[in-house]
Chains A and B, each alone.
Chain A
Amino acid sequence: MYKKSLPLVLAAFVAFAAPAPAVAAEALAPPKQHWAHQGAFGTYDKAALQRGFQVYKEVCAACHGMKLLSYRNLAGIGYNEDEIKAIAAEYTVIDGPDDEGEMFERAARPSDRFKSPFANDKAARAANGGALPPDMSLMVKSRHHHENYLFALLTGYTTPPETDAEGEPIIVPAGMYWNKYFAGNMIAMAPPLVEDGVSYADGTSASVEQMARDVTQFLAWAGEPHMEERKQMGIKVILFMLVFAGIMLAAKRKVWAAVH
C-alpha cells in the first residue's frame, strides 16, 4: 500500500546520503590505490606502519610535527613498552620549571607528545622560506582523496611541462617545486623521498614508491588509531542488529497475523 511513497523516500535518502561537493578542479585527481586497511574487514599492515614510522622519523620529522601523538601511542603499531621507551629516549624535551624555577632538558618519556621540529609556527615558517609545514597527525583524514592523495603527492614530483593550457611558458620560482597532484602545482616542499633514503630493518628495498606507500599507511593509522577496534566492534554490532531486526520483524508479523 505504500509502494508509491517508498521510492520517494529512497530517492531522498540516496540523494542526501551521497553528497558530492565539487572541488575546484585545479590539481590532477590522484589515481586510486589499494590499501590493506580499507573495507569493512581491512586491518593495518603493522610491518608497513613500522616502516612508515621510520620514514616519518628519519625524513618527514625534520620539518613536520605530529602534535596529537605521544610516544606511548606507538604501541598501536606493534612496539612493546621497552622499544617505546628506547624510541622516546632518543629525544630531549624541555620540562620544568624545576625547584629553582629553571626549565631543564630531559630525555622524553612514553607519555610525552612527539617532539616538534620547531618551537612554534613562526619558527617553522622562518626555517622554511615562509611556508608552514603542516602538522601530520591528521594528514590523511584532512585531505581530499585521503591516502590516494598523499601517495600521489609524494610520488608526483615531475619536471613541469614547457607551457600551460594557455600556451604561456611555465616558470617554477626558486624554492618551489612542480608537483602534478598539488593544488596549483607549485609546492614549497622539496621532493622529500629519494631512492634508499632510509634503510629498512626488515630488508624491504626502500624505493620512493615503497616509502611513500609505507608512510601513507603510517599517517592513515595516526589519524584513525582506533580503526581496527571500530571495525571489529562494528561487525559484532551489525550481526547482532540484523538478528535483532529479524526477531522484531517476526514478532511484528505474529502480532499482525490476526488483523483482517
Chain B
Amino acid sequence: MSRPAQTEKFQNPVVQWIDERLPIFTMLIKEYGVFPMPKNANYLWSFGGISLTMLIIMTVTGVVLAMSYVPHTEMAFDSVERIMRDVNYGWLLRYVHMNGASFFFIAVYIHIMRGLYFGSYKKPRELLWIVGVVIFLLMMATAFMGYALPWSQMSGWGVTVITSLFAKFPLVGDGIVTWLWGGFSVDNPTLNRFFALHFLMPFVILGVVFIHVWALHVTGSNNPAGVEPKSEKDTLPFHPYFTSKDGFALVAFLTVFLATVFFAPLALTEYDHFKAYDSMVTPPHIVPEWYFLPFYAILKSFVYDFTVTLSLLAMAGLLAAFPAAYVYFKKDVQKRNLAFKGVGALLGLLVLVTLLALVTANLEEPSLAAYLKVVIVPAALQGVLAMFGSILLLMVLPWLDTSPVKSARYRPVYKKCLLLLLISFIVLGYAGAQLPEGWPVIAGQVATIYYFAHFLVIVPYLSRKEKTLPVPNSIHEDPRCASKGK
C-alpha cells in the first residue's frame, strides 16, 4: 500500500524531518495542542497535571538521593543524615522528597474528590477511573516502602505494624509475614527489598499513568456540568487555554509546596522519625504518615470478634429475609429468584465458615458456651479486610452509582451525602492519629460505617430515587458557564 504524499506540516525542516519518521510532534499537537477541552473545566481539573508533576519531582529527587543512600540497617539512618549534612544540597533534596510525598497525596486526594463530585468515573470513563484507583494503590505502596528507608523508629515500627497485619489472615498469615520480611523480624533483608521496590515503583506508576492519560484522551475530560461536549462551541483547544490555566495552577501549588519545604519542612512528620530504629524499644505512640490515617482508622475501628454466636444471629436474620423477599417481590418472579439466590449464597457462606471454625477450633473443655464463643473472623482481620476493601470499593463505584446525571451540581441529595463522606474521611483521619481508646474510637467507627454505607447503600439508592435538577442541554447553554466569562 503506498502512502499518500505528505504535505509539509511544519515550517522548521528539522521538525518536519523528525516528524515524518516519528510523528511525535503530530502527536503532541493532537493531544496537547488542538486537543478539545470542555471550556467550563475549572481549576480542579488542573490537579491531574499537578499530580504528574509531583510524580516527576519525586522520581528525579529519588534517583539522586539513591546515589547517596545506603540500604543497610547499620548505615541507612546515618547515610540519610550524611545527605542532610554533607552532601551538597542534600538537605534540600531530602526535604523536597519528604514533603513531596505529602503534596503528591494532597494533589491526588483533591483529584479523586473532584472525580467523585463531578461523576468522572461514570460511563464512558469507567476504565480511566479504575486505572486511577490502581495508581492510588501503587502510590500508597510506594510511599509506605519509602517511609521505611531512613530506618528511623517510625520506619522500623511502621513496617513492623503494617506487615504484621498480614499475619491476621488464617492459615497462610504467618508464612506471608515471614516471606515479606525475609526473616523472623524486620531486618536487613526487609530494608533491602523495600529499597529495591521503592526504586522500581515510580517507573511502574509512570507506566500506569501513561495508560491513565491514554484512556483520558480517548474519552476526553469530564466537566463541571457533566454533559459531554456536543459541538465546537463547547470546547477550547488545550493550548493555549489550558496550558496557561494549568500552568498558573501548577506554579501556585508549587509555591505552597516550596514554602513548606523551606520554612516548615518538619510540619508534616513525626519527631520519632529522627531517632534511629531500635528493635528493642517501640515508641509510645506510633502513627503512619497523615495520608494513611483515614485508612488506618478504618483498620482500628473493628474491635469485636465475629463469633459463632453472632454468626447464628446473622443466619437467623438471613432466614427471615426469605419470606420478606417473597412478599416484597411478589409481582416480579425474576427479581424474587435473584434475591433468593443472593440470600442463599450468603447463608451458605456463613454456614461454611462457621463449620470450618468449629471444626478447627481446639477447645480445652468443649461445651455449648465454649462453642458459641469460638471466633470465626477476629476483629483484626475484619479491620484488614475493611481497610483494603475501602479502596477496592472505589473500583466498583461506576456500577454502584448508576444515576445518569454525572455532576453533583444537579444532584442535591448526593451532594450533601458527598459532603458527609468528606467529613467522615476527615474524622477518620483525626481518629487515626489518636490512641485507640475513648471517644475517638467511637467517632472512627461512626465514620467507618458512613464510609461503607455511602458507597454500598446511599449511592445505589440515590441512583434510583434521587430527584435530580434539570441538566443543561450542552456546555455552552449552561447558564453557569456563560455567566462566568466576563
Contact = CB atoms under 8 A, between A and B. Distances in A.
B163 interface: no
B165 interface: no
A238 B268 CA distance: 19
A237 B109 CA distance: 26
B470 interface: no
B293 A19 contact: yes
Contact of A255 (B43, B95, B240, B275): B240
Contact of B275 (A2, A20, A73, A142): A142
A230 interface: yes
Contact of A260 (B244, B263, B270, B484): B484
Interface stretch (B77-85, B139-147, B314-322, B383-391): B77-85
Main secondary structure of the interface of B (DSSP, over half): helix
Interface string B413-425: 0000001001001
Interface in A68-100: 68, 73
Contact of B251 (A13, A229, A245): A245
Interface stretch (B210-218, B283-291, B330-338, B356-364): B283-291
Contact of B252 (A21, A23, A24, A245): A245
A7 B91 CA distance: 34
Given A9-B44, A13-B106, A141 B266 contact: yes
B263 A40 contact: yes
B285 A23 contact: yes
A219 B240 CA distance: 52
B342 interface: no
B258 interface: yes
B115 to A, nearest CB: 12
Contact of A16 (B85, B266, B429): B429
B85 A249 contact: no
Given A1-B40, A21-B285, A234 B109 contact: no
Nearest to B480: A1
B434 A231 contact: no
A1 B484 contact: yes
B313 interface: no
Contacts of B117: 5, 8
Given A8-B117, A16-B291, A68-B78, A245 B486 contact: no
B44 A2 contact: yes
A223 B274 contact: yes
A248 B109 contact: no
A237 B268 contact: no
B353 to A, nearest CB: 37
Contact of A68 (B85, B267, B485): B85
A234 B284 contact: no
B97 to A, nearest CB: 15
Interface string A133-162: 000011001111010000000000000000
Nearest to A23: B285
A225 interface: yes
Interface in A101-148: 137-138, 141-144, 146
Contacts of A229: 91
Interface string B147-173: 000000000000000000000000000
Contact of B109 (A16, A21, A252): A16
A141 B241 contact: no
A234 B114 contact: no
A259 B236 contact: yes
B258 A24 contact: no
A15 B268 CA distance: 12
B429 A1 contact: no
Interface in A28-59: 40
A201 interface: no
Contacts of B469: none
Interface string A158-187: 000000000000000000000000010000
B435 interface: yes
Interface centre among A8, A183, A226, A231 (most CB of B within 10 A): A8
B107 to A, nearest CB: 10
B56 to A, nearest CB: 18
B422 A8 contact: yes
A2 B42 contact: yes
B259 A238 contact: yes
Nearest to A21: B433
A134 B426 CA distance: 37
A1 B42 contact: yes
5 closest residue pairs by CB, A with B = A234-B262, A260-B485, A142-B274, A248-B248, A252-B244
Interface of B: 39-40, 42-44, 78, 81, 84-85, 91-92, 95, 106, 109-110, 113-114, 117, 224, 236, 240-241, 244-245, 247-248, 251-252, 254-255, 258-259, 261-263, 265-268, 270-275, 284-285, 287, 290-291, 293, 409, 419, 422, 425-426, 429-430, 433-435, 480-486
13 contacts: A1-B224, A15-B426, A16-B109, A21-B287, A21-B433, A22-B285, A40-B263, A138-B81, A233-B92, A234-B262, A244-B251, A252-B247, A260-B484
Interface of A: 1-2, 4-5, 8-9, 11-13, 15-17, 19-24, 40, 68, 73, 137-138, 141-144, 146, 183, 223, 225-226, 229-231, 233-235, 237-238, 241-242, 244-245, 248-249, 251-252, 255-256, 259-260
